[in-house]
Chains A and B, each alone.
Chain A
Amino acid sequence: MSSPKSDLPQGTLDMLILKVVALGPIHGYAIAQRIQQISKDVLQVQQGSLYPALHRLENRHWLSSEWRNTDTGREAKYYSLTRPGRRQLELESTSWDRLSEAIRLIMQTAE
């Protein structure tokens, strides 16, 4: 499995987590899986960054959590997006769009 890994720019992980959680209640392991799948294995979130980020977002009241059973009957901590969390996600995705567009423009002219 020598998939090329990319490091996430600072602060982007929070946005990605918010985005993934926005799709519906989800536990930590699934979030990591989802990010990896969607990014076609480019982005691999390490546990060491994922969980501190989750706890940080929860403490900022952008995520809420509850314990529920999974399909396999195990108890897991499910995160879901709160209203302020949704607002934050919108904020971050707009600014991300602007930023990536700007970077794209620069990279194109440079070529």
Chain B
Amino acid sequence: MAKDISPKDLVIHVLNVGFGDNILIEFPADKNGKRSYGIVDCYSSKKTKGYLDKLILDSKKPSRLDFVCATHPHSDHIMGIKSILEDSTYKTMEFWDSGFRHKSDTYRKILNTLNTKKIDMIRVSSGMERYFGKVRLTVLAPSVVLRNKYDTYGIDMNNSSVVLRLEHHGTEVLEMRSQEYVGDMSLEAVRRAGRSVVILAGDAEFDSWAQVSHEYPRVERSSTHKPLVKKMVNNLACSVVKVAHHGSMHSSPLDIYEIMGPKLAIVSTKQKQSTKKQDGGSLTRDMFPHQSATIALEECDACILTTDGSYESKIEEDGSQKDPEMAYEGSIVIVIPPGGSPRWKKLNDKKKDVPDPPKKI
């Protein structure tokens, strides 16, 4: 049963732009009933602006974008950013950057726009926290360890990705350890702990996840008085994950998904195939998402939604589709009520369409 989206809800829109990332965050409304917004990657400025304009009805004043974050400077994440920064309809407060300096002209033009428009650039790294009402945003990656190796040790661009964790609290006081639970190791317990958490994983790959799991460990504590009762802190537990690197074979290891325990995994993608030469023949396979990523997510019992519908429309052994009701392309909208569990909806838009934002989910 669909419910109205409340001004108190955190809403995340993963727009279908083909092979690219384009995420819009609606933070809960302030005392005056006004929401603020954040953009995490922007491949299509046209679609982003069209969608934002439908979301923001009060178009007389410039709409405030708390931040525009480029998770990393690959073109499928930044192609539309310059146009957003230049547009005076939107007042961008900050630009968040991974610190990886790409030599493309697209990235150079973004830097130039920041310079001429006098927009502050923040080089973010693991540990940074920001608060938007009851939403706590934590930067999980890039680790400073990786950032210090960009120049000399060949850390690639994907591993420089900014990974964001958003938690929508139910309480007035933001607790430092909201992911604490007691005496239960089940998937359900992990999901209860991370029910109001969304992780946006950029294109982070193995090197990055190795650092994330090191810096945000799943920690168990046992009490000396009740040795059988354990407390656990797991900052990576989440209900929704925007899967890293379009679900490629290097996107995230199974171990990370097991720690996250996501209920919903979103892959923003347009399927592509690759052929690898091997002894005595060649191997052709789907790359985005790759089977290794979808199997790992299936192992964790996650619902997988792709923006191109390629996973959902896959044919199973019995001839049926994986998820016939979702076997189409479209943007995905997630609602997180304060302290509550997520609800989501897949819209039915092609990559160049600007869909109407849903009012109920």
Q: Do A and B come from one complex?
A: no
Residues of B within 8 A of A (CB): none
A-side interface residues toward B, CB under 8 Å? none
